[in-house]
Chain A
Amino acid sequence: MRRNTRKIFASKIARALVTVVLMVTSVFVLMRCAGDPVTVLLGPDATADMRAAYSGELGLDRPILAQYLAYLHNIVRGSLGVSYVYRQDALGVVLSHLPLTLTLTCSALTLAALAGVAAGIAAAVFPSSFIGRACTVGTVVGLCVPSFFLAIVLMLVFSIQLNWLPTGGAESWRSLVLPAVTMAAASSAVLARYTRVAVRESLDSRYVLAAFARGIPFWRILIHHVLPNAAVPILTILGLLIGGAVTGSTVVETVFSWPGIGNLFVTSVGNRDIPVVQAIVLLAGTAMIMTNLAVDLGYTWLDPRSKSSET
């Protein structure tokens, strides 16, 4: 059994690594498809001499395979080129913005996980009570309202009318509240819906019926039988949300001028700062693959059946 588990882990990690290589390759291809980098850098008015000089400097006159290998080599060394705007290592620029984004996404996701899972459980357990109905309506609203709109509404109410919280920036914890709440709204609605379905399904199962028939109290059944079974789909959704959160904060960061990666991404696209954009895409992609890997490994821990069903 334990040996089997180790084999599954190894195969899952190998699969994740293959995915990383594929992603890195697609980024390279996409960057080449996005237009001639020389034109992008120098503008359409550049002379042929300037273009040739720049191509040589960037290695763009070499065969495409050689360029690809050089690109891979650089990635392995951790060098993703120099930012045109900041005149620094692109990865360094991105990493310096990472802590702020992590602060925002971690607080938003914690909030979303707590509120979403609690609302989902309440909606599943008390479907016809006031709290259950409120959760159902709340999740629909949370899913439908776009985050830029919610951000502006929150800003109008709490910053401009009530003057409780700042409209933007990252000076103190108070600037964190509105962006975190805005980000959490949609995520918690998604989580609440999936949690409700998963908990409902488990509550309707025969093992829960049998546990009731054995006289096991409701709260014990909920905690020890229903939630462990519902955890697998909840974990899947949570994994997707975490993976997407690194880039998902783009809109919120822009609206609230939160100086994180999302903000940097929008600015860099505007500035045509390709090395930085590329570094962000690679970082976000890697984060997505790594969370998926963690979720996959989590299944094995949560659901003993997945150990024997896979080879």
Chain B
Amino acid sequence: MDQTSSHALEAPYARTLEHGSAGRPAIAAGGAPILSITGLTVVLAEQPETRLLEAVQFELRKGEFFALVGESGSGKSVLCSTIMGVASSELRCLGDIHIEGRRLSDVDRRQRAMIYQQPSLYLNPVRNIGFQLRETVQVLDGLSKKEASERAADLLRDVGINDPNETMRKYPHEMSGGMNQRVMIAMALAMKPKLLIADEPTSALDVTTQKQILDLLERLRSDMAILFVTHDLGVALQRSDRIGVLYAGQLVEIGRADLVARTPLHPYTRALFSAVPPLSGRPRRLHSPAGSLPEPTQRQAGCNFASRCSGRLDICRHTRPTLQGIPQQVVACHNLEA
């Protein structure tokens, strides 16, 4: 490993001394967590040796904004649908997911809600917004039609739609992506969720709308935990408390957003950050790691990143690293001492 990375390694330890026990732990959230995932492994039911997620472990607590980053195929969507309880029947899940200390299967569905990358695909095209929102409210709270309409209008106002009655008469194709995303968030809020999963909710939106939606989520976060899945490292750094990096189904690094940004420990995380163009100063050459993400069927016994890693050791070939480190930042890498 080169000189710069060994310098980078020292910084978080120094920060531990500064922050002491006040620092936010990387895996275990303080107090009773809202979401707690332990040893979650998801395999194909037909081929149990094909692992889509492997020993995923982290906790989220109330008010927290957790960004999950990783490239396509890393298992982000599998993780989201598993937590939502709508994973495909072709998958088998091992390990535990608890919401507020109760097993996922015993938890009321409305404890968790989800918003998506392309909201217009997740709204029924032949039903108007009012119908879909009212239905959600009616089914969840057993309200009358009139009460449901009022509650639906309130929810739309909550997400910044000023003419709720006009909006409720519209169909998804008559609205912009940003407006549809607000409607999706209103539907999620109707469930009064403890956990909101946001699967790249702003990737398909223009920058201005993106900021509005992020501000909206920021405003709502005090009542819930937000699991924010994104490709956008900038958004992750700016908005989140903690960042988790998913690579080939495994969480390879979890840490406080500022620490991960300043001193990324995993070579993959470092590679991700070096692939982001700098906003200020001199432009520099962008680096991306050679090779590509291994397919779930081709994963080896050792570290999944070994074949692309410049600092790999002999041990990386045959032993898979586990998460270790200081409370505020953990990493799954054998070569920390390099």
14 A-B pairs whose Cβ atoms sit less than 8 Å apart in the complex? A206-B116, A210-B114, A210-B122, A210-B184, A213-B114, A214-B109, A214-B187, A214-B191, A215-B110, A224-B127, A225-B127, A302-B126, A304-B126, A308-B173
A-side residues, CB < 8 A to B, are: 205-207, 209-217, 220, 224-225, 228-229, 302-305, 308
In the complex, are the beta carbons of B86 and A209 less than 8 A apart? yes
State which of B24-32, B135-143, B261-269, B310-318 sits at the interface with chain A.
Answer: B135-143
Query: A224: which B residues are within 8 A, CB to CB?
Result: 127, 131, 135
Q: Within the assembled complex, what's the spacing in Å between the Cα atoms of A210 and B184?
A: 10
Query: A228: which B residues are within 8 A, CB to CB?
Result: 124, 126-127
In the complex, are the beta carbons of B124 and A229 less than 8 A apart? yes
In the complex, are the beta carbons of A305 and B125 less than 8 A apart? yes
In the complex, are the beta carbons of B140 and A215 less than 8 A apart? yes
In the complex, are the beta carbons of B122 and A207 less than 8 A apart? yes
**Shortest beta-carbon distance from B89 to chain A in Å:** 11
Which residues of B (100-124) have their CB < 8 Å from a CB of A? 109-110, 113-114, 116, 118, 121-124
**Shortest beta-carbon distance from B67 to chain A in Å:** 21
**Shortest beta-carbon distance from A235 to chain B in Å:** 12
A215 in complex: contacting residue of B121, B122, B139, CB < 8 Å: B139
In the complex, are the beta carbons of B125 and A303 less than 8 A apart? yes
B126 in complex: contacting residue of A210, A211, A229, CB < 8 Å: A229
Query: A209: which B residues are within 8 A, CB to CB?
Result: 86, 122
Given contact pairs A214-B190, A217-B139, A228-B124, a sample of 20 additional A-B residue pairs in the complex whose CB atoms are under 8 Å apart: A207-B124, A209-B86, A210-B122, A210-B184, A214-B109, A214-B139, A214-B140, A215-B109, A215-B110, A215-B139, A215-B140, A216-B136, A224-B127, A224-B131, A225-B124, A228-B126, A228-B127, A229-B124, A229-B125, A308-B173
Q: What 10 A-B pairs have minimum CB-CB distances, sorted nearest first? A: A215-B109, A210-B122, A207-B124, A206-B121, A304-B171, A206-B122, A228-B126, A225-B124, A305-B173, A214-B136
Chain B residue, CB-CB nearest to A226 = B124
Query: A303: which B residues are within 8 A, CB to CB?
Result: 125-126
Instruction: Report if A216-B124 is in contact (Cβ < 8 Å); known contacts: A206-B116, A209-B86, A305-B171.
Output: no
Chain A residue, CB-CB nearest to B112 = A213
In the complex, are the beta carbons of B84 and A213 less than 8 A apart? yes
Query: A302: which B residues are within 8 A, CB to CB?
Result: 126
| Interface of A, helix, strand, loop or mixed by DSSP | helix
Chain B residue, CB-CB nearest to A230 = B126
Check if B223 is an interface residue, CB within 8 A of chain A. no
Which residues of B (262-295) have their CB < 8 Å from a CB of A? none
Query: B215: which A residues are within 8 A, CB to CB?
Result: none
In the complex, are the beta carbons of A216 and B125 less than 8 A apart? no
Query: B127: which A residues are within 8 A, CB to CB?
Result: 224-225, 228
Q: Within the assembled complex, what's the spacing in Å between the Cα atoms of A120 and B295?
A: 38
In the complex, are the beta carbons of A213 and B125 less than 8 A apart? no
Query: B187: which A residues are within 8 A, CB to CB?
Result: 214
Q: Within the assembled complex, what's the spacing in Å between the Cα atoms of A216 and B85?
A: 13
In the complex, are the beta carbons of A308 and B124 less than 8 A apart? no
Query: A220: which B residues are within 8 A, CB to CB?
Result: 135, 139
Check if B174 is an interface residue, CB within 8 A of chain A. yes
Query: A210: which B residues are within 8 A, CB to CB?
Result: 114, 116, 122-123, 184
Chain A residue, CB-CB nearest to B187 = A214
Instruction: Report if A213-B86 is in contact (Cβ < 8 Å); known contacts: A225-B127, A229-B126.
Output: yes
**Shortest beta-carbon distance from A49 to chain B in Å:** 69
In the complex, are the beta carbons of B173 and A207 less than 8 A apart? no
In the complex, are the beta carbons of A212 and B173 less than 8 A apart? no
Q: Within the assembled complex, what's the spacing in Å between the Cα atoms of A225 and B123?
A: 10
Query: B190: which A residues are within 8 A, CB to CB?
Result: 214
Query: B84: which A residues are within 8 A, CB to CB?
Result: 213
**Shortest beta-carbon distance from A202 to chain B in Å:** 9
Query: A217: which B residues are within 8 A, CB to CB?
Result: 139
In the complex, are the beta carbons of B124 and A211 less than 8 A apart? yes
**Shortest beta-carbon distance from A179 to chain B in Å:** 37
Chain B residue, CB-CB nearest to A225 = B124
Query: B184: which A residues are within 8 A, CB to CB?
Result: 210
- Of A212, A214, A305, most buried by chain B (CB within 10 Å of CB) is A214
In the complex, are the beta carbons of A213 and B121 less than 8 A apart? no
In the complex, are the beta carbons of B110 and A207 less than 8 A apart? no
Q: Within the assembled complex, what's the spacing in Å between the Cα atoms of A205 and B124?
A: 9
Encode B155-176 as 1/0 by CB contact (under 8 A) with A.
0000000000000000101100
Q: Within the assembled complex, what's the spacing in Å between the Cα atoms of A124 and B174?
A: 30
In the complex, are the beta carbons of A216 and B139 less than 8 A apart? yes
Q: Within the assembled complex, what's the spacing in Å between the Cα atoms of A121 and B142?
A: 28
Q: Within the assembled complex, what's the spacing in Å between the Cα atoms of A192 and B113?
A: 36
In the complex, are the beta carbons of A215 and B191 less than 8 A apart? yes
Q: Within the assembled complex, what's the spacing in Å between the Cα atoms of A167 and B331?
A: 83
